[in-house]
Amino acid sequence: MCLRHSMLAKFKLTLAILVDIILEFYLKREKIMLQNKANPTINKSTGLPRKRFYRARAHSNPLSDSHFPVPLSPNHVEYSLHYPQLFPLADRTDTCKKIGFADIGCGFGGLLISLSILFPETLMIGMELRDKVTEYVKERILGLRVANPGQYQNVSVVRTNSMKYIPNYFEKGQLLKMFFLFPDPHFKEKNHRRRVISPHLLDEYAYVLQVGGIIYTITDVEELGEWMKSCLQNHPMFEPLSVAELEADPVVKLLSTATEEGQKVARNGGQTFQAVYRRITPAS
């Protein structure tokens, strides 16, 4: 009789534990569903952020003082925050893989997403000054990682001012490619110093690009296109790619199709102006 009572007690205990587990599961699921329902910024079907909740001004003033953390040097860039699956530990030795592509003023991240699939072994980062846009790209990357396990682990974004802090993120000769797609034209002559392509900034870009590295630029403003081309042409550490090299480069095709700006220009039947140049060793 005692044995029978003991077995019955164990059964009741096990049943109670099982009920608690099931109840906890359903409560958690209901909580997640309520959170998703209460968060209209996320598309329920795709899990990706809705762009209309992250709209911002087309451009920001790069000479204004913005407040965000900046690494003291390239050695202080926290790779584990940007690429957690590839760098699970906070400590990173100098022998580890480093960022190879930088999209300056990355906008909503269209080019980065395309490049991530095209170059899955290359680490890349977007540098964007607008806070809402940066947050959108972060959420977009996180959503894509969840929806596509194992993919998009090599891409990230950071809110920063690339006109001031490029040397804080990249070492000498570190980068393979830099992208400047549809930058702010700053039409007024007094504001030309705000342009992201200029003679003095090209000195910095030449420093962080390895010899053979490439700068890609594109705009739908002819005057700005001529300006960027002239700056690159007159700089002793850059030379233009040949027509054959441009046709063979798969990245060139993305310049006008991967970004929201490029797609808008195409829809309106607009014209674009490209300048693609290679980093070289200047003649002595």
Alpha carbon distances (Å) from 131 to 105, 120, 245, 260, 283: 12, 27, 36, 18, 42
Nearest to 78 by CA among 172, 160, 181, 196: 160
Q: Is residue 214 a contact partner of residue 277, using CB atoms and an 8 Å limit?
A: yes
Active site residue 131: no
Q: Is residue 63 a contact partner of residue 189, using CB atoms and an 8 Å limit?
A: no
Considering 20, 131, 184, 220, which one is annotated as catalytic? Answer: 184
Nearest to 155 by CA among 79, 206, 217, 94: 79
DSSP code of residue 112: H
Burial class, 81, CB count within 10 angstroms (exposed 0-12 / middle 13-18 / buried 19+): exposed
Q: Is residue 185 a contact partner of residue 219, using CB atoms and an 8 Å limit?
A: yes
Q: Is residue 210 a contact partner of residue 279, using CB atoms and an 8 Å limit?
A: yes
Strands (E), 160-281: 175-181, 209-219, 238-240, 273-279
Nearest to 194 by CA among 220, 237, 218, 163: 163
Q: Is residue 166 a contact partner of residue 209, using CB atoms and an 8 Å limit?
A: no
Q: For Cα atoms 33, 36, 39, give the angle at the middle one, nearest 5 degrees.
A: 150
Catalytic positions, written as ranges: 184
